[in-house]
Amino acid sequence: MAEKEIQFRKKRELGDIITDSFEFLKQEYNPVSKLVFTYVFPFVLIYGILQVYVQMRVMVNIDFTDQETMLANIGPIYMNVFLSSLFGLFVQSLLAGTYYSYIEIYVKKGKGNFELSEITPLLFSNGLLALGANLVLFIAVMLGVIMCILPGLYIANTLSIVVIILIFEKKRLGDALTRSWNLVNSQWWNTLLINLLGLLIVGAVSFVISIPSMLAGIGSNIFSLQETATTEYPDWYWVLIGTATIVSTIFYVIPYTFLAFQYFNLDERTKISQPPVQHLQD
């Protein structure tokens, strides 16, 4: 059975966004996988190793039975976590920029009418756009969380399509922020459900992969306050931790797909709701 081209520029209900997202991922699995594993996966692999390193450092250097030592080591630990988070932000931006570059060409030229080589010139510029937007979004969300959890949640949801707007509409960052604010607020709760569902899927995948390591952790007394507990972790425990990080990072293409369809849905609804311009006759 021949696969049909999926139209992004279309008004959709919430259920249609979910089903069409999975249909698109199913149809475009091979080229998207090739693109992601060629340009993004090496950095995702480094990120997984870095996450394992940071967790090992935390477990080795923090001893809850010795408050003085714990306070002395907390500064370097925070720095490791901060640098790891920044690198994770870079990896997510690279993944978003690469994936949305594919969707950009798909929307412009149609299914099967382009080669992956046509996408590679877009990766650097779109990756930088995604990184800049994600840095601003990260700072805004953190400020919102500091004020209270709810403002952080509101900002994260309202600005969740900024990266897509920057890539598809080529707007300046300030204009893209305003555009995202206006579009999302037209269907704020639907966008929140889409974001939560995407994060839930990623979290579920990570949880399933982490189950063996969690069971091993309980068996090895991972949460013990004993100083020697960190020496009992088997090597495969750390391999699973790194694997969970790598797989869950790649699976972010699912919420990114949700948001792409939601962006076009909101854009089409906005166009429909705008009255036609009346040209005055002299």
Q: Give residue-wise pLDDT tens across range 188-222.
A: 999 999 999 999 999 998 888 877 766 665 555 44
8 Å CB contact between 88 and 47: yes
Tokens representing 68?
């003085």
Residue 64, pLDDT > 60, answer no
Confidence of residue 2 (pLDDT cuts 50, 70, 90): low
Please give the C-alpha separations between residue 111 and each of 15, 144, 243, in angstroms, as whole numbers.
Answer: 23, 40, 32
For the chain, domain boundaries:
14-272
Q: Give residue-wise pLDDT tens across range 98-112.
A: 999 999 999 999 888
Q: Give residue-wise pLDDT tens across range 255-275.
A: 999 999 999 999 998 876 555
Distance from C-alpha of 103 to C-alpha of 257, rounded to nearest angstrom: 9
Q: Indicate the pTM of the whole model.
A: 0.85
> What pLDDT was estimated at residue 143?
80
Confidence of residue 67 (pLDDT cuts 50, 70, 90): low
3-state secondary structure 227-251: HHHHHHCCHHHHHHHHHHHHHHHHC
- Rounded mean pLDDT, 20-41: 94
More confident of the two residues 86 and 191? 191
Share above pLDDT 90 across residues of the chain, in percent, rounded to a whole number: 46
Residue 33 CA, chain-centre distance (Å), reads 16
Q: Give residue-wise pLDDT tens across range 148-196.
A: 777 888 889 999 999 999 999 988 889 999 999 999 999 999 999 999 9
